[in-house]
Amino acid sequence: MYFFLSRHDTGSVSELTMNEDFAENRNISIPSYFYIRGFSGIPHIRYYYIFLFLVYIITVLGNSCLMFVIITDRTLHTPKYIAVFNLSLTDIFESTAVIPQILSTFLFGNQLISYGLCLCNMFTVFVSLTTQSLNLAVLSFDRFVAICLPLRYHMIVTHRSMLIISGVTWLVSLLMITVSTIFISRLSFCRVIVIINSFYCDHGPIYGSACSNNFPSSVIGKLYSSVILGFPAFFIIFSYTCIAVQLFRITTPQDRHRATKTCTAHLILVAIFYVPITFTYALAPIIDTNTRIINLSLTSALPPLLNPIIYTMKTEEFLVSVKRLLKRKIIFPSQK
């Protein structure tokens, strides 16, 4: 998601003291390795790795349980929960793309990563983050139609339309990140080993370290950041502006409260995804590298953890389904 957020740190690469393996070689076009600087020099960082490991376990279990409940309970076989299921699937994919790589890289000292694996790591991370951002916009579309166009909801938001929209989010993510990866693969580098000031193979530091013309990658980074962050955020703001206008037209307090309650879970998901990214991006020029890296790693790890918890606690129909499922399993454990 942070295509050019980290670029201001790439200038520090030339200031690092490098051994013979890091010496410049103007004949090199593709580096043998990338060196993921990441959390180097941060005190007591091993405790943070333990925290990330626990976050990953809870994220996978929580989202897997949410997906299991959606599949098992027929009352949740609605278009809205197709989007929720897709979001949980994306959360697991994102956490698996980010956290195990962090643990493997820094906890076990594998900070050297080959050129091919680095591009694969960048591809998987950005596809998952892009899909998650687009999924939040899809959920806001569902709420917009449900509240602003209630009489047409079942005609617009159908199983078929939601499956198509969910598939399009993955297709758009795959196409966009494939193009950016292709442009990265065309860059030339003048070092055997390129240092990346991030916790994974980040797009910005990679193209910023190239010694060939990186202008196309720079443009793509800025364009995609606008599309991936800007467009979904704009659509979400537009949707909830229309929803707020519609809520003022509802005369009954009970109906207004019920309509507002259906949006609470989604608004919290939007806040925990976009607010940290926005603040980190806004403060990027004035915060140090280590603080930025910690912030970005948290914004990648925490939303997938919190999404299933929020939906479980804030969505009444989902809570009812969980209670029904637990009651059926406890009271009639052998009944099929």
Mean pLDDT of the residues in the chain:
83
* CA 93 – CA 69 distance, rounded (Å): 19
Query: What does the pLDDT average to over 101-114?
Result: 87
Question: What is residue 262's predicted lDDT score, i.e. its pLDDT?
Answer: 75
> Any alpha helices (H) in the chain, and if so which ranges?
45-72, 79-102, 115-148, 153-156, 159-185, 203-208, 215-225, 231-249, 253-283, 289-314, 316-331
Residues 5-28: b if buried by 16+ CB within 10 A, e if exposed: bbbbbbeebeeeeeeeebeeeeeb
Query: What does the pLDDT average to over 250-258?
Result: 76
Q: Does residue 237 have a pLDDT over 50?
A: yes
Q: Does residue 316 have a pLDDT over 80?
A: no
Domain 28-331 adopts which CATH fold?
Answer: Rhopdopsin 7-helix transmembrane proteins (1.20.1070)
- 61: amino acid identity, one letter: L
DSSP 26: T
Give per-residue pLDDT as tens, 149-169.
989 999 999 999 999 999 999
